[in-house]
Amino acid sequence: MIVAEQKSFDEISKMVESFDKVLILGCNECVTVCLAGGEKEVGVLATSLRLLRKQGDRPITTLEETVTRQCEWEYLDQIEKLAEEADCIISMACGVGVQYVAERFPDKWVIPALDTKCAGGSVKHGQWEERCGMCGECILHKTGGICPVARCSKRILNGPCGGSQNGKCEVKDVDCIWDQIYKRMMALGRMDQLLEIEPEKNWSKARDGGPRKLVREDVMIG
Amino acid sequence: MNEFQPKIVAFCCYFCAYSAADLAGSMRLQYPPTVRMIEQPCSGRIDIQLILQAFEDGADGVYVAGCLEGDCHFLKGNFRAKLRVGQAKKVLDDVGIGGERVEMYNLSGSMGPRFAEVAHEMHERIKNLGPSPLNKTAASAPLPAAAGSE
């Protein structure tokens, strides 16, 4: 899933200070699971904004809604009337959702309430870690199901580097993922695979090649 | 001059603080009438939104009273409540109401005197802090002539 984190309240409140009626729009997908932009977080942000603005001479009216997915037009169609009522929309979705909302409601000012962090998962309650680098060409079959693109600080494809010390990374306080890859391959009896040198990766399939677009004519309708 | 009488909401766990309040009553212990109690099945029922809503609806202070640590009827409810109260403190600081207006207490069902003590403690704290910023306008407005109190 996409992992996101709420911006500081101070930052959000500054972005909405010139608006009197806002629609706070949550998303029921990834950001609900990572506790950043679901129905509950919408409620807390709305109440917080009202509490702040009630103390001044410019109270704020909040409209609250959470849609199934902000990254699909059909769900945004359902909030058309709410959006019309509001001066601006605070999207509590990832960057994708924010852009869909902005595109669907071109005359509305849209504010992002979250910082989108990575494609990852929850390793325990309250802790999320990056797992996929979205490089566009998966190599997990070569590395025992552990991704060096997303989880090695240097994205090394033939690791580990010389900075791997006692299973820890030299760049930041994380496990050396190449150490993990070696341990797993050893356990699986596939160490010989690691002797093969991985050639340079075609990064043009990743974000480095520009914005990516997928077209599948077989599933197109209409 | 009317003295400020705070409105305090106490979210009390059924298994401890609520029973302790009962005991305090049986023991004829006095505690401030400014505390309004809300019974909860467990302090772990508390949620940041409930705390914020209490302030929005006019509370000057809020506290959550759960079982002694390690004694929660549902094992971890009071630890979770403690974390949520911590989060509520941060949000209340962010919005300018002040995190010191919310607190977490732990007591057992047999601690009637402690229940009264906590109520006094919170009453004093909120009284010293004054009305919540949301109630300040209302507090400074002249009261109707008939509304006289000490």
Note the pLDDT of residue B144. Answer: 47
Which of B47, B55, B94 is the closest to A9 by Cβ? B94
Alpha-carbon gap, residue A95 to A108, rounded angstroms? 16
Residue with structure tokens 């496990």? A175
CB–CB of B95 and A10 under 8 A? no
- Find the length of chain B: 150
Give the other-Cβ count within 10 Å of A156's Cβ: 16
Q: Are A150 and A180 in contact (CB under 8 A)?
A: no
Note the pLDDT of residue B1. Answer: 55
Tokens representing residue B78 in the block: 């009071």
- Find chain A residues with C-beta within 8 A of B55's C-beta: 51
What are the boundaries of each domain within chain B? 8-135
Average pLDDT, integer, range A149-178: 95
Q: Are B9 and B38 in contact (CB under 8 A)?
A: yes
Residues 6+ apart with CB under 8 A from B28: none
Average pLDDT, integer, range A139-161: 96
Domains, chain A: 2-118 (3.40.50.2300), 134-209 (no CATH)
Give the other-Cβ count within 10 Å of B102's Cβ: 26
Note the pLDDT of residue B2. Answer: 77
Tell me the per-residue pLDDT of A110-121, one tens digit each, with 9 for 90 and over.
Answer: 999 999 999 999
Note the pLDDT of residue A11. Answer: 98
Question: In chain A, which residue's Cα lies nearest the Cα of B59?
Answer: A51
Give the other-Cβ count within 10 Å of A180's Cβ: 18
Tokens representing residue B43 in the block: 């302090």
Sign of CA dihedral A51, A52, A58, A60: negative
Mean pLDDT of chain A: 96
Instruction: Give the strand order in the sheet containing A114-124.
Output: A2-6, A114-124, A127-132
Q: Are A21 and A86 in contact (CB under 8 A)?
A: yes
B62 touches chain A (CB under 8 A): no
Q: Name the percent of chain A lying above pLDDT 90.
A: 99
Q: What is the ipTM of this complex?
A: 0.88
Alpha-carbon gap, residue A195 to B72, rounded angstroms? 55
Which residues of A make CB contacts under 8 Å with B?
8-10, 40, 43-44, 47-48, 50-52, 54-55
Average pLDDT, integer, range A68-81: 97
Task: Give first-to-last CA distance, chain B, whole Å.
Answer: 8
Q: Is the pLDDT of residue A102 over 70?
A: yes
User: Could you say which architecture CATH assigns to the domain B8-135?
Assistant: 3-Layer(aba) Sandwich (3.40)
Note the pLDDT of residue B148. Answer: 39
User: What phi and psi values does residue B104 have, to the nearest 5 degrees?
Assistant: -115, 135
Note the pLDDT of residue A168. Answer: 97
Note the pLDDT of residue B137. Answer: 64
Residue B149: strand pairing partners: none
Q: Is the pLDDT of residue A200 over 80?
A: yes
Residues 6+ apart with CB under 8 A from A20: A58, A59, A60, A61, A87
- Find chain A residues with C-beta within 8 A of B138's C-beta: none
Of the candidates B124, B96, B110, B29, the residue with the CA atom closest to the CA atom of residue B68: B110
Tokens representing residue A169 in the block: 């990374």
In order along its 150 residues, chain B shows pLDDT tens digits of 578 999 999 999 999 999 999 999 999 999 999 999 999 999 999 999 999 999 999 999 999 999 999 999 999 999 999 999 999 999 999 999 999 999 999 999 999 999 999 999 999 999 999 999 999 865 554 444 444 343
Sign of CA dihedral A137, A156, A125, B81: negative
Tokens representing residue A200 in the block: 């340079």
Q: Hey, of A6, A12, A44, A66, which one would you mutate to test binding to chain B, going by the most B CBs within 10 A of its CB? A: A44
Residue with structure tokens 């005197």? B113
- Find chain B residues with C-beta within 8 A of A50's C-beta: 56
